[in-house]
Structure 1
Amino acid sequence: MIKKHQIYKTDNYNMLTVEVQGKTLVVREISDQWGEECHTFVSRPEMLHWAQNRFRADDFAGREEEREAILTAFREV
């Protein structure tokens, strides 16, 4: 059974979802700049580590709440 979690969605071309497929976590990142990227993780800590590196605090200067909301959504998966 696949469980899908939406981390964020700004429109049909910019979104990030996590699919839980048994013990595997598949992160699908869709952006209008880069197309679709898939990342597969075998554990939640591995996925959270990736998320913290992908959504660095420096990139969200002035938008800390947005970053925290994204990381919180990852933690709830």
Structure 2
Amino acid sequence: MIKKHVIYKKDKWNMITVEVQGKYIVLREISDQWGEETHTFLSRPALMNWVNNRFPKSEYMDNLEEWNDMMANFRQV
């Protein structure tokens, strides 16, 4: 069974989804700038390590609410 989580979705070209596929966690990042990137993780700590490197809190100081919402969504995976 695949469980899909939408981390954020601004429109059909800017979104991040995470699917739990058995022991794999597959993250899809779609943007209008870079297209689609897929990352596969074997554990939640590995996913969260990538998330913390990809979305550092320091880059969201002007919009902490967005960062907090994103982190809460990632933690629910």
Aligned-pair identity (%): 57
What's the counterpart of residue 48 of structure 1?
48
Give the alignment of 1:18-57 within 5 angstroms.
Answer: 18-57=18-57
Matches of 2:65 and 2:52 in 1, distance apart?
14
Q: Which amino acid aligns with 2:21?
A: Q
The unaligned stretches of length 5 or more in structure 1 are none
Shift of 1:26: 0.3
What's the counterpart of residue 14 of structure 1?
14
The unaligned stretches of length 5 or more in structure 2 are none
**TM-score for the superposition, normalised by structure 1:** 0.96
After superposing on structure 2, the runs of 4+ consecutive aligned residues of structure 1 that deviate more than 4 Å are none
What's the counterpart of residue 67 of structure 1?
67
Shift of 1:59: 1.5
Please give the per-residue CA displacement for 1:32-57, whole angstroms capped at 9, x wherever unaligned: 00000000000001001111111111
Matches of 2:57 and 2:4 in 1, distance apart?
26
How many pairs does the alignment contain?
77
1:33 aligned counterpart, secondary structure:
coil
Q: Which amino acid aligns with 1:35?
A: G
Question: Over aligned residue pairs, what C-alpha RMSD do you find?
Answer: 0.7
